[in-house]
Amino acid sequence: MNEKEKTPYVVTSKSYTAVAINAASKAGEWIKSRLGTVSELGIKYSPQDLVTEVDKGAEQMIRRLILTHFPHHAILGEEGVEPGPEASARALQEIQDEEYLWIVDPVDGTTNFVHGFPFFSVSIALAHRGEVIVGVIYDPSRDELFVAEKGKGAYVHGNRMGVSGEQELAHSLVAVGFPADPNYTLPINMAAVQALAPQVRNLRAGGSAALHLAYVAAGRLSAYTEIGLKPWDIAAGALLVAESGGTITDTVGTPYDLSVSHIVASNGKIHEALTGVLKEAKATGME
Ligand code: 2AM
Ligand code: CA
């Protein structure tokens, strides 16, 4: 066999972003076509933590597409990691030093997907030595594609996004989440809700971390906070928020990196007020 025959064929002249968009939109269309067909429901870490054959199928589809173009890149996908916090911390540790790491959530908002509530998305990020450089989130229910490249801004269907202008919590629409761990995270999230509700214009809990972040980037939400998330829930959305002029930190105000799981994302103007409320309510998850 000569050298040429041994080397696998690699499709060239495709940018990372184009590959992420292609994978997210293909997987998204497929997921949408499977709505209402879930026959077997798997329970991962708790009865609130669901997985379906659609999550697994979409992740497989995305992995194949990425590896077709970049066979030597590493991939951290939700369905490739054992359930539970220790396994995902370990997985992240193991691959954080990779030169190129794709971070994939094939269905963010699986509970919504299972119930036919049209608020779920495909989230794909690419990190270079631990820093997110591409973020793509696709919402197949509305055919909305959110794209960000490090240093180049964030766009929804080609239109530049920008965060909202609210200067005060009292004028802000703020999203929260109720993640799958009823023992540790739920009481803390409830404390956050109790403290925030009287201070903001209103609260929302849509059930997809990635879409909440995309909505902060698009100026549709003033802020979003949730604790107990995983890298694949946040990575793409974090870049969208940052490239739209927003702020994303952990719940005590430390800048976002891939290891952050308790997040506050906002238009920047209400960031300190929001982290202040969480601190006072002992709802940062870091007490
Ligand atoms: P998922 O649908 O991809 O699992 C809702 O509060 C948000 O929390 C969703 O983005 C959901 O993502 C995420 N989520 C659900 N279960 C989780 C878990 N066990 N750990 C971390 N995040 C989770
Ligand atoms: Ca998921």
| Architecture in CATH of 169-280 | 3-Layer(aba) Sandwich (3.40)
CB atoms within 10 A of CB 17: 18
- List, for residues 136-182, the tens digit of each pLDDT value: 999 999 999 999 999 999 999 889 999 999 999 999 999 999 877 88
The CA 180 to ligand 1 mean position distance, Å, reads 6
Mutate to test the pocket of ligand 1, among 230, 261, 263 (most ligand atoms within 8 A of CB): 230
Parse the chain into domains and list their residue ranges: 3-160, 169-280
- List, for residues 95-109, the tens digit of each pLDDT value: 777 899 999 999 999
pLDDT classification of 25: cutoffs 50, 70, 90:
very high
Nearest atom in ligand 1 to the alpha carbon of residue 85 is 20
Strands (E), the chain: 41-43, 50-52, 74-77, 100-108, 121-128, 131-139, 144-149, 153-156, 159-160, 173-176, 202-204, 223-226, 247-250, 263-266
Write down the pTM of the prediction: 0.92
CATH of domain 3-160: 3.30.540.10
- Does the beta carbon of 28 sit less than 6 angstroms from any atom of ligand 1? no
CB 106, CB 77: distance < 8 Å: yes
Average pLDDT, the chain: 91
